[in-house]
Amino acid sequence: MLIPPPGRELVVSADAAIEGVHFRAGDPPDLIARKVLRTNLSDLAAMGADPLGYLLTLAIPPTRDDAFFAAFAAGLAHDQRQFGLTLLGGDTTAGSAQLVVSITILGHLAPGTALRRNGARAGDALWVSGTIGDAALGLRDGAHPHLARRYLLPEPRLGLHLAGIAHAAMDVSDGLVQDAGHLARESGLAVEIAAASVPLSAPARAADALAECLTGGDDYELLLAVPPEHDAALRDEAARTAIPFTRIGRFLPGVGVRVRDARGDEMIFERKGWSHVR
Amino acid sequence: MLIPPPGRELVVSADAAIEGVHFRAGDPPDLIARKVLRTNLSDLAAMGADPLGYLLTLAIPPTRDDAFFAAFAAGLAHDQRQFGLTLLGGDTTAGSAQLVVSITILGHLAPGTALRRNGARAGDALWVSGTIGDAALGLRDGAHPHLARRYLLPEPRLGLHLAGIAHAAMDVSDGLVQDAGHLARESGLAVEIAAASVPLSAPARAADALAECLTGGDDYELLLAVPPEHDAALRDEAARTAIPFTRIGRFLPGVGVRVRDARGDEMIFERKGWSHVR
């Protein structure tokens, strides 16, 4: 039975992950489970909600054995404890050609405080949490442990209090450029990104693959639209939660997303996002 | 945003359906959508809950085109109107080998009134709604329109007020014998079914396939455990809702499920349920 905590509103979100698309068939089973759960937790983080519980359906190919599921369940149990949420229901069905994991997540928040994608205003700055591109590089080359880890195990940016600070928010799953474009489009605006401002980890800087970082996916960092007068409040919230935020661009009237390099020239990408593992 | 109606509790349930397992690749797209939604609505009916909304994730093979999805969406829209529920969220992903439809459904009910599977008591009668076996026969041979329809489009038994009448409830998805056994096991009891009492439609009677009816699946009728002193109340509720109920057995101390034929001899089945379409 699910009752929202007194005085709180519920939010719900659902995401599915397909073997060979969102995760690799050979990824460790506990990390497959945790990644899918965390991508859903990231959706809650982007709404400013706290986790409550989730429902899980699994479509299972005959190639997956009991050991796989023991590890998969252990991964879920680990992250349930870590993030304080419970399994509320679900269903497991054999007969699938690929493993398909579908999760519906439920969260709660103070009434009226949910962050949305369509609230950015012209003049708002575009901010991003953490670093960008690690997961895409980790998918391409698993040799570097930090990058490999960032692909396998995203860190949902829960616990921030952004109501009253950000006008709009979403998480980066399909690539920074593409998702910044989503935020702009849903808000009826254009967005401009200063590529040199985008925060990169030391190994990502060393990889010298800026375009790949900007268009790669699976970051699960937060994009925020924040008016200049809330800069100080955002910095305070970043300090309180130890989640770094970096200002990387701005929203302006118009349509589309433009990325400028350090000299101010527009960067053209062959594709603005990606479609996960091929 | 999802807030339970004032004074109501939320219930949630999730079910996935796989092409080739729960529905046939060639089934009409609108009926695939409606069937998956209705199997979830049937879960709400078995809890005694009213529908509120649902979330949908689709894993989509490249063989499905725009016409498929237009028809699929039209099917969802039809049943959303029919059952008064809204789509609360979801996710669509390409790259699957088969169509996988996962639905999480949310319902509401008066606090403390949810029907469960583990509440049957020794001495309770086993009741079932509607008729049994039509869907299994319709799957085997689609020539008879009533039977074919019963496979393609289950009728969720919503709207009953069974709190205070039934001690336990569940819906029949995997076959009457198997699911009656589930109800008994979860209640720590045995159950005995009088095969001759099981309600069959005229075309199912004409098919002369009692064992197939008793063990076939996809009925989506309700099984109830009702104490004899609530017989009259159940009959009143059946009359109010025009949903027929038939007494087909009883719960008793012990374990397992026994089915007796008209002479009182035990019927032995090769399998106690089924695993949907092969």
Average pLDDT over residues A188-193: 98
**B15, A56 contact by CB (below 8 A):** no
Note whether residue A118 is domain-resident.
no
Q: Is the pLDDT of residue A74 over 60?
A: yes
A258: phi then psi, degrees, rounded to nearest 5 = -120, 135
Q: Using CA coordinates, name the residue in chain A closest to B55.
A: A14
CB atoms within 10 A of CB A270: 6
Q: What is the CATH number for B162?
A: 3.90.650.10
Provide, as residue numbers in chain B, all residues whose Cβ is less than 8 Å from the Cβ of A276: 95
A149 and A259 fall within a common domain: yes
A22 is in an annotated binding site: yes
Specify the pLDDT at position B5.
83
B93 and B212 fall within a common domain: no
SS3 B16: strand
Within 13 A of B68's CA, how many CA atoms are on the CB side? Answer: 12
Note whether residue A49 is domain-resident.
yes
Q: Which among A4, A96, A275 has CB closest to B18?
A: A96
B43 and B131 fall within a common domain: no
Q: What is the CATH number for B17?
A: 3.30.1330.10
Q: Which among A2, A12, A90 has CB closest to B89?
A: A12
A142 and A104 fall within a common domain: no
| Interchain CB contact of B91 with A (< 8 Å) | yes
What percentage of chain B's residues is helix, strand, coil (to nearest 5)? 35, 30, 40
| ipTM of predicted complex | 0.85
User: Which candidate in B60, B102, B275 is best for mutational testing of the A interface (most A CBs within 10 A)?
Assistant: B102
Give the whole-angstrom CA distance, residue B243 versus residue B9: 25
Q: Which among A3, A21, A57 has CB closest to B16?
A: A57
| Interchain CB contact of A105 with B (< 8 Å) | no
A84 and A186 fall within a common domain: no
Q: Are strands A100-109 and A168-171 parallel, antiparallel or unpaired?
A: unpaired
Specify the pLDDT at position B272.
55
pLDDT in tens, chain B (278 residues): 567 788 899 999 999 999 999 999 999 999 999 999 999 999 999 999 999 999 999 999 999 999 999 999 999 999 999 999 999 999 899 889 999 999 999 999 999 999 999 999 999 999 999 999 999 999 998 889 999 999 999 999 999 999 999 999 999 999 999 999 999 999 999 999 999 999 999 999 999 999 999 999 999 999 999 999 999 999 999 999 999 999 999 999 999 999 999 999 999 887 655 444 43
B39 and B135 fall within a common domain: no
**B44: distance to nearest CA of chain A, Å?**
12
Give the whole-angstrom CA distance, residue A90 versus residue A34: 16
Note whether residue B50 is domain-resident.
yes
Note whether residue A274 is domain-resident.
no
User: Which candidate in A1, A9, A102, A116 is best for mutational testing of the B interface (most B CBs within 10 A)?
Assistant: A102
Q: What would you measure as the largest C-alpha separation in chain A, in angstroms?
A: 57
Domain boundary among B109, B144, B161: B109
A249-to-A112, A130, A259, B43 alpha-carbon distances in Å: 27, 15, 9, 48
Provide, as residue numbers in chain B, all residues whose Cβ is less than 8 Å from the Cβ of A116: none
Burial call A187-208: b when 16+ CB within 10 Å, e when fewer = bebbbbbbbeebbbbebbeebe
B132 and B21 fall within a common domain: no
Known binding site: residues of B?
Answer: 13, 15, 22, 43, 90-91, 117, 171, 173-174, 218, 274
B189 and B105 fall within a common domain: no
Note whether residue A119 is domain-resident.
no
| Interchain CB contact of A25 with B (< 8 Å) | no
Mean pLDDT of chain B: 94
| Model confidence band, residue A1 (pLDDT cutoffs 50, 70, 90) | low
Length of chain B measured in residues? 278
Q: Which among B16, B57, B276 has CB closest to A15?
A: B57
Note whether residue A230 is domain-resident.
yes
Give the single-character DSSP code of B5: P
A134 contacts: CB under 8 Å, gap ≥ 6: A146, A147, A150, A151, A201, A203, A204, A213, A219
Q: Kindly report, residue by residue over B188-208, the tens digit of the pLDDT.
A: 999 999 999 999 999 999 999
Q: From the DSSP assignment, how many helices (H) and strands (E) are in chain A?
A: 8, 11
A127 is in an annotated binding site: no
A214 and A146 fall within a common domain: yes
Q: Kindly report, residue by residue over A98-151, the tens digit of the pLDDT.
A: 999 999 999 999 999 999 999 999 999 999 999 999 999 999 988 899 999 999
A32 contacts: CB under 8 Å, gap ≥ 6: A17, A23, A72, A75, A99, A101
Q: Is the pLDDT of residue A276 over 80?
A: no
Give the whole-angstrom CA distance, residue A167 versus residue B190: 59
Task: Count the domains in chain B.
Answer: 2
Beta strands in B112-167 (DSSP E): 125-129
Q: Residue type at A177?
A: V
Angle between helices B66-83 and B29-47 (to 10 degrees): 30
B206 and B105 fall within a common domain: no
Q: Using CA coordinates, name the residue in chain B closest to A21.
A: B95
Q: Using CA coordinates, name the residue in chain A closest to B277.
A: A95
Average pLDDT over residues A258-267: 94
Sign of CA dihedral B63, B66, B67, B73: positive
Give the whole-angstrom CA distance, residue A96 versus residue B98: 7
Specify the pLDDT at position B6.
83
Note whether residue A23 is domain-resident.
yes
SS3 B182: helix
Note whether residue B277 is domain-resident.
no
Q: Using CA coordinates, name the residue in chain B closest to A116.
A: B1
Q: What residues make up the domain containing B198?
A: 125-267
A90 and A25 fall within a common domain: yes
A264 is in an annotated binding site: no
B93 and B132 fall within a common domain: no
Specify the pLDDT at position B47.
97
Sign of CA dihedral A15, A21, A23, A29: positive
Known binding site for Mg(2+): residues of B?
Answer: 13, 15, 43, 91, 171, 174
